[in-house]
Structure 1
Amino acid sequence: MITVSAVLFQRADARVLTVRKRGTEMFMLPGGKPESGEGAADCARREVLEELGIELKPIDIEPFGEFDAPAANEAGFTVHADVFRASASVAAAIEPVASAEIVEVRWVLPRDGISDAREAPLNRDIVFPMLLARAHLLD
């Protein structure tokens, strides 16, 4: 089991920010592994700052859910992810800059990401379907 924290940034046009780390092929939500004694939300905020240069205040994110999925880049492992959702105003204002181990950033529509083999299983199987279901309920 690999424990991670991640942040879901979704713009008004429904696109979600996903990132690809150096030496990998799959895109995932920005985030990473906690340091010793670090809480999930603090980890998510630290990782986003390190990876994308985006400074988030505690009030900028809220819990989206805890999920288990096959690890994207470590065969045979499961990832346990604490996912936090950034506020709409924050998602609209960010300009992510790939830093640290991030080599590529992209904004993807959940309906397209579900069938994109380059998206991590957490996104394809859980996060994107949840976003689409919630959007459908709002229609």
Structure 2
Amino acid sequence: MTTALGQPQSTLHIATACFINSANALLVVRKRGTTMWMLPGGKLDAGETAEQALVREVGEELQVSLSPNDISFLGSFQAAAANEPDTRVSANVFRARLPDGQRFSLAAEIEATDWLSLDMPVPATVAPLLREHIIPVLQTAALK
């Protein structure tokens, strides 16, 4: 893909976590200085698998220690980046379970968290990746 000026569009490779509570609501985060809600997670470091990046990022952002048994692969999706112009995200998305005895605690660049009901219309302040791909997959899975 290219930008309006004909420049190649950059792609961020990320891993994200879907934490869903008993009320069928999805944990979303907002990074400091931004307005868009997205899933916790972040960019893969060089040589890092998506699973390793997810465990690291959730630890950094929410102070939660995930293990491989706490996550399962949901899918890979691409969309426009929420906060970086002329950029796309290529995401490996996982369902995640909060380990017993742990709580979410804001850290790193995370300014706020909220629970987004999967039973309600999606607000305009939700990142494109989440709005266009992940929420529809989660809603379809819930109907099965």
Q: TM-score if structure 2 supplies the norm length?
A: 0.87
Query: Closer, same or farther in 2 for the Cα pair 1:15/1:129, shift >3 Å?
Result: same
User: Does the residue aligned with 1:97 lie in a helix, a strand or coil?
Assistant: coil
Cα distance in structure 1, aligned partners of 2:100 and 2:21: 5
Q: What does 1:1-139 align with in structure 2 at a 5 Å threshold? A: 1-87=11-97, 90=98, 94-112=102-120, 114=122, 116-137=123-144
Cα distance change of structure 1 residues 107 and 94 upon mapping to structure 2, 3 Å threshold? farther
CA RMSD of aligned residues (A): 1.6
Which amino acid letter does the alignment assign opposite residue 116 of structure 2? V
Shift of the 122–100 alpha-carbon distance from structure 1 to 2, 3 Å rule, reads same
The answer as to whether partners of 1:9 and 1:91 remain within 8 angstroms in 2 is no
Aligned AA (2:41): G
- Answer whether contact 2:40 2:57 (CA < 8 A) is retained: yes
Q: Structure 1: how far apart are the matches of 2:115 and 2:101?
A: 14
Return closer, same or farther for 1:8/1:50 CA change in 2, 3 Å cut-off. same
User: Once the 2 structures are TM-superposed, how far is the Cα of residue 113 of structure 1 from its aligned partner?
Assistant: 5.5
Q: Whole-Å Cα distance in 1 between the matches of residues 119 and 100 of structure 2?
A: 20
In the superposition, relative to structure 1, how do residues 86 and 117 fare at CA in structure 2: closer, same or farther (>3 Å)?
A: same
* Paired amino acid for 1:109: S
Give the whole-Å Cα distance in 1 for the aligned partners of 2:89 and 2:47.
Answer: 19
Contact 2:17 2:94 in 1 (8 A): yes
Q: 2:8 — aligned with what?
A: none
Q: Could you list the runs of 5+ residues in structure 1 that have no partner in the other structure?
A: none
Pairwise CA distance, 1:112: 3.1
Percent of pairs with identical residues: 40
Greater share of helix? 1
The count of aligned residue pairs is: 134
Partner SS, residue 51 of structure 2: helix
Q: Deviations over 1:39-83 (max 9, x none)?
A: 100000100000000000111101110100111111221100011
- Given residue 118 of structure 2, which amino acid in structure 1 is its aligned partner? P
For the Cα contact (< 8 Å) 2:15–2:92, is it kept in 1?
yes
Which ranges of structure 2 fall in alignment gaps of 5 or more residues? Answer: 1-10
Matched-pair contact (CA < 8 Å) for 1:11–1:92: no
